[in-house]
Amino acid sequence: MSVHRDHFHKIRCVAPGSIAEEYGIEPGDSLLSVNGHEVEDVFDYRYLIREEELLLVVRKGTHSEEFLEMGLPEGEPEDWEVEIEKDPAEDLGIEFESGLMDEYRACKNRCVFCFIDQMPPGMRETLYFHDDDARLSFLQGNYITLTNMSDHDIDRIIRYHLEPINISFHTMNPQLRCRMLHNRFAGSVFPKIKRLKDAGIELNGQVVLCKGINDGQELDDTIRELEQYLPQLKSVSVVPVGLTRFREHLPKLELFGRDDAKCVIAQIARWQAYYMERYGIHLVHASDEWYLLAGEPIPAGKDYDGYLQLENGVGMVRLLMDEVEDALHNITKTLPDCGKGRSRKVTIATGKLAAPVLQELAGKICAAVPGTRVRVIAIRNDFFGETITVSGLITGQDLVAQLSGQDLGDRLLLPANMLRANEQVFLDDMTVRQVEEALQVKTIIVESDGQSLVNAVTGMNEEIE
């Protein structure tokens, strides 16, 4: 069998006790095919191994135990055929060097609002990578413009029924989309979206709103045109463009103000009423930033249609508020004297946008658990510029600079979204330990749910431990 060189997939590790280990597959080996099919990427692999009977072709690494036991000299790899019988739901226990089993696809657009192009110089290389990969949309929830996708890519999404696919619409005006994405093909993706819709693929959408470009009447037109993708289109978020101080040589964009935010909220509310009446869903949602900027109440939980876009900042504040209420109710119900005879002082550091909300929640926690004192400090974003007010873009150096010398109490609490995923590292590569040592205070990273916040503020989790 001839196997394309690009479709060798080197194995990084094999889980102990797994099927792969049982059959002698080792780190350093390479997977060539499954049941006679080349494996293009992780989607092919996951689809193909669902069979009960598998025939894997594995090229043994030159340093594997079996390779050395056979006395073969280095440089003469051997291809093994591995026959496996298993339950369809069983995993083989293999992890590959690349999570996608392929190269990541770089974005071909140069969007006028792209945050990557607004990064300061001198940061780690991965932060400058423009990704627009449909596979990451499925695996990690990333939003994609579809300008990178071929008909073959659409075929595979439909064949494997990969969903949801998250799409950056921005506008349904083809000419405007070409200008916003600075890509002459950006306005020709709508037939691809129609194919996904007709195949029953679940979709979510996003509009990054830029003042004077795709707002106002253009936003109305976009929301109206999105109706054609129902019922497969489940939600659409409208988020304000983020502007850092590093926009030299980039198109000039304006920030939205308080009155602008009020207008956007009212505009979206009208469309929510339209879609609720006809389809029983709100469909389009304003991200939390709009309500915080406008100083308007956060909608009730029932208005978020199941919180489909939490990772895009839609409904996170409401969910946190409700979860804190539930957590405090449980504490006062099961531990009525939980605060008796104790004293605890903590500091919460967050972005300017979320600080008022956390101040309100901190007050409720302190009232429910006597002996608890909380100070909320809004961190000014000197690194990216003061126009960036979200907590997820606060750096370690800004924390140290603005908190040094202050009485931070027993603990410093930081939201988990300040850190790189699954790592104890801030955007500027400072570690949590470095911040902790610089400020000389025990630092706790708090997950985004209300129970975690209540536990961290009150110290209940530490007492249990």
Answer whether residue 6 shows pLDDT above 70: no
221: confidence class by pLDDT, cuts 50, 70, 90: very high
pLDDT tens-place string over residues 70-125: 554 555 678 899 999 999 889 999 988 876 666 666 667 777 887 776 677 766 66
Q: Would you state the pLDDT for residue 237?
A: 97
Answer whether residue 465 shows pLDDT above 50: no
Instruction: Among 9-18, 170-179, 380-389, 419-428, name the most confident range.
Output: 170-179
Environment class of 401 (CB within 10 Å of its CB; exposed 0-12, middle 13-18, buried 19+): middle
Which is more confidently placed, 108 or 161? 161
Answer left, alpha or beta for residue 200, where phi above 0 means left and psi between -120 and 50 means alpha: left
| Chain mean pLDDT for the chain | 87
Q: Would you state the pLDDT for residue 464?
A: 41
| For range 208-221, the mean pLDDT | 97
3-state secondary structure of 211: coil
Q: Would you state the pLDDT for residue 144?
A: 84
Tell me the percentage of the chain whose pLDDT exceeds 70.
Answer: 85
Helix (H) or strand (E) holding 346: strand 344-351
Report how far residue 348's alpha carbon sits from residue 350's, in angstroms, rounded to the nearest whole number.
6
Could you give the residue ranges of the DSSP H alpha helices within 335-442?
355-368, 396-403, 432-439
Q: Would you state the pLDDT for residue 113?
A: 80
pLDDT tens-place string over residues 401-416: 999 999 999 999 999 9
pLDDT tens-place string over residues 186-195: 999 999 999 9
Q: Which residue ranges form the domains of the chain, and what is each CATH number?
A: 5-96 (2.30.42.10), 116-313 (3.80.30), 318-464 (3.40.50)
Report how far residue 387's alpha carbon sits from residue 392's, in angstroms, rounded to the nearest whole number.
13
- Range with the lowest mean pLDDT among 27-36, 217-226, 317-326? 27-36
Answer whether residue 342 shows pLDDT above 80: no
294: confidence class by pLDDT, cuts 50, 70, 90: very high
| For range 324-341, the mean pLDDT | 75
87: Cβ contacts below 8 Å, ≥ 6 apart: 52
Where would I find the beta strands (DSSP E) of 355-464? 372-379, 411-415, 442-446
Check: pTM over 0.85? Answer yes or no. no
Which residue do the tokens 């990578």 mark?
Answer: 129
Angstrom CA distances, 181 to 137, 173, 177, stand at 18, 12, 6
Answer whether residue 135 shows pLDDT above 80: no
Answer whether residue 67 shows pLDDT above 50: no
Report how far residue 61's alpha carbon sits from residue 427's, in angstroms, rounded to the nearest whole number.
36
Q: Would you state the pLDDT for residue 413?
A: 96
Q: Would you state the pLDDT for residue 46?
A: 83
Q: Would you state the pLDDT for residue 324?
A: 96
398: confidence class by pLDDT, cuts 50, 70, 90: very high
Answer whether residue 345 shows pLDDT above 80: yes
Answer whether residue 3 shows pLDDT above 70: no
330: confidence class by pLDDT, cuts 50, 70, 90: confident
Q: Would you state the pLDDT for residue 104?
A: 62
Answer whether residue 453 shows pLDDT above 60: yes
Cβ atoms within 10 Å, residue 188:
14
AA letter at 12: R
